[in-house]
């Protein structure tokens, strides 16, 4: 194939350009750093609980709470890694670790299948009754005769999607096991998820509770500085870059993941421009890029009915700007349902969907006094029309609706 000289140049300069990063992987979410500043208390508490395994004890179950990016996953993995190292050093039988990300493995069946897999038992991904794979797990674990520490990360997602039946089984499993034992570590991003749990599950799972508060701007600064030393070439970070990333992420509920993303994306932008240094300007650009990526992801995942409501709001916005009220949204929505041959939901339900879009930050709605349509709301799109349109246009189920916009495209 003939070389494309422009592209080849881009590839070559990309390959040789190590001006900015030393090791960008250090800024990725999956990287577990050697030090976790400002999490000493949480590390100690998890450590004290798990230490009992070193004398053959069964640790209490633990529930860790905190918003996203407050270091929950990092702390738990960090302590488990050190526990395994210590066990090896002392020649003690290491506990089996079963780590499950319930954000991905989010049904009771798949959790059990994954647990089987962590003890070396293959079960099919579907098909068996849940009781049967649970039974195989118990039997397999009994044969191994070990303590198993099961980490259920993002446990709130599992409970919301599939209920708490597998948790019920797991919190009772020790009464069935003779040679083996199980300890549970639950990690939740949602502080309210306890309300969804059966009280018996809650009292067992929450024997110990550890709270992860949001990081302050100055804590985020320390975290970023540590990482930046490994991730960037010397002296490539302009003055104020770390402070700005920390300040922006602190506003975003003290999220270390967001802070690291800002720093990484800012570095990538600087690299792409062939700049000598990462500047505050790069951080600001990184912020808007990350935000628009998040909005795009959120919109993509909306269920069909919500997308239809958004479509109606989008069309009305194009027609008349920001003076949109719920009644109009509903009637446009009804027209669209007819066009697509879809059963419409009630006006009340549409109202709920509008509230959900508001909570996701896609629209802004405020109650206006009683008008022609009764108690009504004024609605305004808060994300750029272009982003919304890209998502709506991409959904093949909504293709027929493009006639609502085609005659007045911007």
Please give the residue ranges that form the binding site for ligand ADP (CB under 6 A).
29, 31, 33, 36-39, 66, 68-74, 223, 256-257, 260
3-state helix, strand, coil in the chain (%, to 5): 60, 15, 30
* Joined tokens for residue 407: 């005659």
Q: Would you count residue 70 as binding Mg ion (CB under 5 A)?
A: no
Shortest distance (Å) from residue 15 CB to ligand ADP? 26
61 counts as binding Mg ion under rule CB under 5 A: no
- Residue 188 touches Mg ion, criterion: CB under 5 A: no
254 binds, among Mg ion, ligand ADP, none (CB under 5 to 8 A by kind): none
DSSP string of 46-62?
Answer: HHHHHHGGGGT--PPPE
Which is nearer to ligand ADP, 33 or 56 (by Cβ)? 33
CB nearer to Mg ion: pick between 73 and 116: 73
Site string for Mg ion, 141-180 (x = CB under 5 A): ----------------------------------------
For the CB of residue 101, give the shortest distance to Mg ion in the complex, in Å: 8
Q: Smallest distance, Å, CB 346 to ligand ADP?
A: 37
Contact 218, 185 (CB under 8 A): no
Instruction: Work out how close the CB of 69 gets to ligand ADP at its nearest, in angstroms, rounded to a whole number.
Output: 5
Q: How far apart are the two ends of the chain, measured CA to CA in Å?
A: 39
Q: Read off the DSSP letter of residue 356.
A: H
CA-wise closest residue to 395 among 340, 347, 344: 340
Q: Which is nearer to ligand ADP, 30 or 175 (CB)?
A: 30
* CB of 70 or CB of 114, closer to ligand ADP: 70
In the bound state with ligand ADP, the residue whose beta carbon lies nearer, of 19 and 38, is 38
Q: Are 163 and 108 in contact (CB under 8 A)?
A: yes
Q: Residue 185: name the closest of 159, 212, 207 by CA.
A: 207
Q: What DSSP character marks residue 71? A: S
- Give start and end residues of each alpha helix (H) in 52-187: 72-89, 108-118, 130-144, 155-162, 165-172
Give the C-alpha separation, 17 to 308, whole Å. 46
Q: Give the nearest residue (CB) to ligand ADP.
A: 71
Out of 61, 73, 306, 376, point to the residue binding Mg ion (CB under 5 A).
73
Cβ atoms of 75 and 36 closer than 8 Å = yes
CB of 193 to ligand ADP, least distance (A): 14
Q: Min. distance of Cβ 73 from ligand ADP in angstroms?
A: 3
Residue closer to ligand ADP by CB (options 66, 98) is 66
- Using CB under 5 A, count the residues that bind Mg ion: 1
Kind and range of the H or E run holding 250 = helix 241-251
Token representation of residue 324:
């949109």
58 CB-contact burial (10 Å; exposed 0-12 / middle 13-18 / buried 19+): middle
HSE value, Cβ hemisphere, 13 Å, CA-based, for 332: 23
- Which listed option, ligand ADP, Mg ion, none, makes contact with residue 103 (CB within 5 to 8 Å by class)? none
Q: Minimum Å distance from CB 222 to ligand ADP?
A: 8
Nearer to Mg ion, 68 or 176 (CB): 68
Applying CB under 5 A, the residues found at the interface with Mg ion are: 73
């Amino acid at each position: 194939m003939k070389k494309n000289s422009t592209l080849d140049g881009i590839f070559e300069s990309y390959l040789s350009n190590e001006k900015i990063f030393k090791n960008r992987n250090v800024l990725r979410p999956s990287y577990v750093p050697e030090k976790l500043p400002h999490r000493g208390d949480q590390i100690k508490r998890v450590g004290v609980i798990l230490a009992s395994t070193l004398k053959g004890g069964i640790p209490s179950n633990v529930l860790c709470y905190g918003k996203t990016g407050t270091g929950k996953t990092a702390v738990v993995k960090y302590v488990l890694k050190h526990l395994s190292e210590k066990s090896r050093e002392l020649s003690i039988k290491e506990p089996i670790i079963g780590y499950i990300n319930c954000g991905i493995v989010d049904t009771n069946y798949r959790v059990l299948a994954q647990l089987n897999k962590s003890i070396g038992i293959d079960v099919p991904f579907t098909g068996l009754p849940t009781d049967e794979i649970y039974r195989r797990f118990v039997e397999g674990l009994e044969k191994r005769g070990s303590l198993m520490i099961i980490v259920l990360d993002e446990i709130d997602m599992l409970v919301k999607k599939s209920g708490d039946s597998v948790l019920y089984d797991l919190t009772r499993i020790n009464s069935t096991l003779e040679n083996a034992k199980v300890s549970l570590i639950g990690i939740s991003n949602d502080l309210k998820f306890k309300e969804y749990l059966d009280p018996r599950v809650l009292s067992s799972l929450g024997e110990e509770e550890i709270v992860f508060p949001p990081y302050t701007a100055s804590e985020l600064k320390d975290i970023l500085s540590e990482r930046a030393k490994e991730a960037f070439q010397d002296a490539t970070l302009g003055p104020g870059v770390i402070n700005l990333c920390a300040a922006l992420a602190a506003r975003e509920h003290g999220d270390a993941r967001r802070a690291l993303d800002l720093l990484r994306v800012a570095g990538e932008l600087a690299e792409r421009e062939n700049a000598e240094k990462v500047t505050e300007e790069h951080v600001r650009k990184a912020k808007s890029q990350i935000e628009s990526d998040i909005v795009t992801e959120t919109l993509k995942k909306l269920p069909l009915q919500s997308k239809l409501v958004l479509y109606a709001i989008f069309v009305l916005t194009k027609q008349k700007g920001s003076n949109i009220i719920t009644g109009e949204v509903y009637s446009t929505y009804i027209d669209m349902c007819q066009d697509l041959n879809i059963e419409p939901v009630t006006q009340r339900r549409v109202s709920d969907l509008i509230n959900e879009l508001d909570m996701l930050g896609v629209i802004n709605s405020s109650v206006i006094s009683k008008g022609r349509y009764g108690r009504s709301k004024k609605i305004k799109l808060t994300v750029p029309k272009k982003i919304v349109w890209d998502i709506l246009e991409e959904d093949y189920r909504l293709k027929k609706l493009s006639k609502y916009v085609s005659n007045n495209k911007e």
